[in-house]
Amino acid sequence: MADSPISHHDGSTEQGDAPSSAATEAPADPSASPEQTAQMEQAYAQMRRKLRISKLDEEIKHKIMVLSGKGGVGKSTVSVGLALSLARSGKKVGLMDIDITGPNIPKMLGLESAELNVEDGQIFPVIGPHGIKVISMAFLLDDPDKPVIWRGPIKLGAITQFIGDVAWGELDTLIIDFPPGTSDEPLTVSQSLPGIDGVVIVTTPQEVALLDSRKSINFAKTISLPCLGVVENMSGYTIRGTAEPNTTISVIGPAGTPIEAQTNETGEWSLTLDIFKSGGGASAAAELDVPFLGALPFDPGVVRGGDDGVHRIIAEPDGATAVAFDEVVKNVLIQIAGSSGPSVRIS
Ligand X SMILES: Nc1ncnc2c1ncn2[C@@H]1O[C@H](COP(=O)(O)OP(=O)(O)OP(=O)(O)O)[C@@H](O)[C@H]1O
Work out whether 292 is an interface residue with ligand X (CB under 6 A).
no
Q: Is residue 329 within 8 Å of residue 319, measured between CB atoms?
A: no
Q: Is residue 85 within 8 Å of residue 225, measured between CB atoms?
A: no
- Binding residues for Mg ion, total number by CB under 5 A: 2
Q: Is residue 265 within 8 Å of residue 245, measured between CB atoms?
A: yes
Annotate each residue in 57-86 with x if it binds Mg ion (CB under 5 A) or - if it does not, as one string: ------------------xx----------
Q: Name the residue whose CB lies closest to Mg ion.
A: 76
Work out whether 76 is an interface residue with ligand X (CB under 6 A).
yes
Work out whether 208 is an interface residue with ligand X (CB under 6 A).
no
Closest approach of ligand X to the CB of residue 70, in Å: 7
Question: Among ligand X, Mg ion, none, what does residue 180 contact (CB within 5–8 Å per kind)?
Answer: ligand X
Residues 123-152 that bind ligand X (CB under 6 A): none
Question: Which residues, at least 6 apart from 143, have a Cβ–Cβ distance to it below 8 Å?
Answer: none
Closest approach of Mg ion to the CB of residue 76, in Å: 3
Total H helices, total E strands in the chain: 10, 14
Residue with Cβ nearer ligand X (164 or 297): 297
- Report the alpha-carbon distance of residue 62 to residue 336 in Å, rounded: 8
Q: Is residue 321 within 8 Å of residue 300, measured between CB atoms?
A: no
Residue with Cβ nearer ligand X (97 or 165): 97
Q: 3-class SS at 187? A: helix
Annotate each residue in 157-196 with x if it binds ligand X (CB under 6 A) or - if it does not, as one string: ----------------------xx----------------
Q: Is residue 122 within 8 Å of residue 166, measured between CB atoms?
A: yes
Question: Among Mg ion, ligand X, none, what does residue 159 contact (CB within 5–8 Å per kind)?
Answer: none
Q: Is residue 135 within 8 Å of residue 123, measured between CB atoms?
A: yes
